[in-house]
């Protein structure tokens, strides 16, 4: 990861970072600001949570290669660091197989809870 250049992106309040259903090839770390995770439920947009400085979001799509289960938008002026699928998989390959399996189980559980 150190040999790869980390990409930073800046967003204004209300800017979409990704949409629900998008293919996910990046996870993100909030460097400055705050990101809201939102989902449309019964036609109404609901804020599921917020991610602040040093928090990570969007990682589920890298774990299980499924479409984004919710959208993300900047709540305030926000700068994020992008983590590519390649970086993530490189780190995961070096980890214990138990950890990889556990991550997949957790991702399935979270998606299941979110869909109910």
Query: Which two structure tokens, joined as six digits, stand for 95?
Result: 């980890």
Which runs of consecutive H residues, i.e. helices, occur in 1-116?
59-64, 85-93, 97-115
Confidence category of residue 48, pLDDT binned at 50, 70, 90: very high
Mean pLDDT of the chain: 88
Share of the chain above pLDDT 90, in %: 59
Taking CA atoms, 39 is separated from 14, 42, 45, 56, in Å, by: 14, 10, 6, 18
Domains in the chain with CATH codes: 7-115 (2.60.120.10)
**What is the tens place of the pLDDT at every residue in 51-106?**
999 999 998 888 888 899 999 999 999 999 999 988 888 887 887 888 877 877 87
């Amino acid at each position: 990861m150190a040999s790869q250049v980390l990409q930073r992106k800046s967003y204004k309040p209300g800017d979409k970072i990704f949409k629900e259903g998008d293919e996910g090839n990046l996870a993100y770390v909030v460097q400055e600001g705050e990101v809201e995770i939102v989902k449309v439920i019964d036609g109404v947009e609901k804020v599921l949570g917020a991610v602040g400085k040093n928090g990570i979001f969007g990682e589920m799509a890298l774990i299980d290669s499924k479409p984004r289960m919710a959208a993300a938008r900047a709540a305030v002026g926000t700068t994020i660091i992008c983590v590519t699928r390649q970086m993530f998989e490189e780190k995961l390959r070096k980890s214990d197989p138990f950890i990889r399996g556990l991550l997949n189980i957790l991702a399935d559980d979270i998606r299941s809870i979110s869909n109910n």
